[in-house]
Amino acid sequence: MTSKRRKKHKPEQIVAKLRDADAMLNAGKDLAAVLQALEISEATLHRWRAQYGGMKSEEAKRLKALEDENRRLKEIVADLTLDNKMLKHLSEGNW
């Protein structure tokens, strides 16, 4: 059994593929043909529609950048919280 390598799509590529999918579906193609042409699964299409539906590529880029920044900030907060707890524990002399 061969496994396909997972592709990473950029937000602007996702928006373009969603636009193409809508155009093909409106032209009368069935869903299976659209999914095969775009080389994605049905679950991926529905997930992309939920996340990027109705967005322009600039908005999708901005969303991705904000998500990345949010992830980095959460990591920083987690590290600082751990450092804070460690310092409190050491200052109490319980070691």
For 37-51, write each residue's pLDDT tens digit.
999 999 999 999 998
pLDDT in tens, 54-63: 888 888 889 8
Distance between CA atoms of residues 94 and 85, nearest Å: 12
Query: Per-residue pLDDT for 2 more than 60?
Result: no
Averaged pLDDT, 9-19: 89
Q: What are the sequence ranges of the domains in the chain?
A: 11-91
Helices (H), 1-95: 11-26, 31-38, 42-52, 57-91
Q: Please give the residue that has the higher pLDDT: either 54 or 18.
A: 18
- The residue ranking higher by pLDDT, 4 or 1, is 4
**Contact criterion met (CB below 8 Å) for 4 and 39:** no
User: pTM score > 0.85 for this model?
Assistant: no
